[in-house]
Amino acid sequence: MASCSCYSVNFTAPSFNPNKPLTSPPNQLLPISRFSSFQSKLPLFSLHLNQNLSQTNFRKSRVAPTFLLVASGEKAEPLRVMISGAPASGKGTQCELITKKYDLVHIAAGDLLRAEVAAGTENGKRAKEFMERGQLVPDEIVVMMVKERLSEQDSQEKGWLLDGYPRSVSQATALKKFGFDPDIFILLEVPEEILVERVVGRRLDPVTGKIYHLKYSPPETEEIAARLTQRFDDTEEKVKLRLLTHNSNVEAVLSMYEDVIVKVDGTLPKQEVFSKIDNILTELLERKEAALGSLAA
């Protein structure tokens, strides 16, 4: 929440002896830069900070008028971003670029779940019980993990990027209940035939861990090509099933955020996709700053 501090300032007329420089007591000269909203030119008065910050009136001086200056300690709220995209839409790449540029806290429910299980937290222990039985972790457990991560100090101060979450209406409803609404919901749009082509042509180098694509990013040498492997679920049949599940879930979620959705063409080269997202986020930050400025005026 934005905050503003009000300082009590005393204006003291300087000595007009031309042979004596204007001075102030040590550590009491208040830098004019502290008053970002103060635009007018003042006569040559030295500014002294009254240490009693709770005092709202100025000490009156016989030689100087009384002014009210408000030191702006306000800061625009950080970005709160949700991003969604089908498998192979390029969402992972865009999350990396967004996080690097805007220094947001990147939160992916899957990563968060694995980390909580590994750390042995209360939520992690509950989730592990379901995972060991081969069952899906209930929404209420994952939602609490996400809620707690969004509530941490770095997320509140730096802003957050929620990656591929929420995935259902119940998850979105829970986040809204806890007060976590995004400024913007970015949806990467890629036609199904392109998504299938991207997935089916994807290959993994088991030695380096690097991901290749037989068409778009082929291996550098025949030696590397010979050792590449394909994920068991990177087949046309399985990817279409995954897309069907994704589409049925995301449509319901989009209805919850229709006022803040921005659709981006994910078929473009990754740098062009990021350029569009970058422009959107920059404009959003500028609007936040402008809104803050209008309130302070």
Establish whether 287 is a catalytic residue: no
- At residue 293, the pLDDT reads 72
Q: Which domain holds residue 200?
A: 89-275
Please report, for the domain that includes residue 198, its CATH number. Answer: 3.40.50.300
* Domain count along the chain: 1
Establish whether 62 is a catalytic residue: no
Q: Is the pLDDT of residue 223 over 90?
A: yes
Q: CA 73, CA 93: separation in Å to the nearest integer?
A: 36
Establish whether 202 is a catalytic residue: yes
- 153-202 pLDDT, tens digit each: 999 999 999 999 998 899 999 999 999 999 999 999 999 999 999 999 99
In a domain, 98, yes or no: yes
In a domain, 30, yes or no: no
In a domain, 45, yes or no: no
In a domain, 294, yes or no: no
Establish whether 227 is a catalytic residue: no
Q: Which of 91, 126, 198, 203 is catalytic?
A: 91
Q: Which of 215, 227, 231, 263 is catalytic?
A: 231
- Using DSSP bridges, classify how beta strands 160-163 and 105-108 pair: parallel, antiparallel or unpaired: parallel
Quote the pTM value: 0.70
In a domain, 104, yes or no: yes
Q: Which of 80, 149, 198, 202 is catalytic?
A: 202
Establish whether 125 is a catalytic residue: no
* Tokens at 255, concatenated: 């209805």
Q: Which of 126, 167, 198, 203 is catalytic?
A: 167
What percentage of residues in the chain have a pLDDT greater than 70? 74
In a domain, 291, yes or no: no
- At residue 91, the pLDDT reads 95
In a domain, 153, yes or no: yes
In a domain, 203, yes or no: yes
